[in-house]
Amino acid sequence: MEFSQLESIFNENYNKKYSNYIQYGTAGFRTTAHLLEHVLYRMGILAVLRSKMKNAAIGLMITASHNIGSDNGVKLVDPAGEMLEASWELIATNLANVEDSKLVSNVEQIIREQNINMSATATVIVGRDTRESGPVLFNAAIAGIQALNGTIKDFGVITTPQLHYLVVCTNNNKYGNATLHGYYEKISKSFKHIRQDKMNNGHYVAELSLDAANGVGAMAGKKFQEYLGTSLIINLYNDGNGELNHMCGADYIKVKQVPPTNFSVETNVRCVSIDGDADRVIYFYVDENNKFHLLDGDRIATLIAGYFKELLQELNSFIDLFHLGLVQTAYANGGSTNYISNILQIPVVCAPTGVKHLHNEALKFEIGVYFEANGHGTVLFKDIVIETLKNATTNPNLTASQTAAASTLLNIIDVINQSVGDAFSDMLLVETILHAKGWSIIDWEKSYKDLPNKQLLIKVNDKNVITTTDAERRCVSPKGLQDEIDRVVLQYSKGRSFVRPSGTENVVRVYAECEDPNDLNKFITAVALLVHRHAGGVGPEPQLS
Question: C-alpha distances in angstroms, 95 versus 19, 24, 49, 314, 386?
Answer: 14, 10, 12, 53, 41
**Which are the contacts of 505, defined by CB distance < 8 A and separation ≥ 6?**
457, 463
Q: Name the maximum alpha-carbon separation found in the chain.
A: 71
- 65 has catalytic annotation: yes
Among residues 138, 118, 107, 103, which one has the least CA distance to residue 51? 118
Q: Considering 65, 133, 231, 440, which one is annotated as catalytic?
A: 65
DSSP state of 518: G
Question: Phi and psi dihedrals of 317, rounded to 5?
Answer: -75, -15
In three-state secondary structure terms, 168 is: helix
Q: How far apart are CA 361 and CA 169, in angstroms?
A: 23
Alpha helices, DSSP H only, in 380-537?
383-393, 400-415, 423-437, 441-445, 481-489, 520-534
Q: How far apart are CA 505 and CA 25, in angstroms?
A: 10
For the chain, how many helices (H) and strands (E)? Answer: 18, 19
Look at strands 271-274 and 507-513 and give their pairing. unpaired
Q: How far apart are CA 327 and CA 261, in angstroms?
A: 32
Q: How far apart are CA 388 and CA 309, in angstroms?
A: 16
DSSP state of 76: E
CA angle (20 as vertex; 14, 21 as ends), nearest 5: 95
- For residues 66-89, b (16+ Cβ closer than 10 Å) or e, as one string? bbebebbbbbbbbbebbbbeeebb
Contact at 8 Å (CB) between 32 and 73? Answer: no
DSSP state of 511: E
Give the gyration radius of the chain's Cα atoms: 24
Q: How far apart are CA 427 and CA 495, in angstroms?
A: 31
In three-state secondary structure terms, 123 is: strand
Determine the length of the chain. 545
Report DSSP letters for 378-412, one per residue: EEEE-HHHHHHHHHHHT-TTS-HHHHHHHHHHHHH
In three-state secondary structure terms, 281 is: strand
Look at strands 233-237 and 29-32 and give their pairing. unpaired
Q: How far apart are CA 26 and CA 503, in angstroms?
A: 6
Which residues are catalytic, by number? Answer: 65
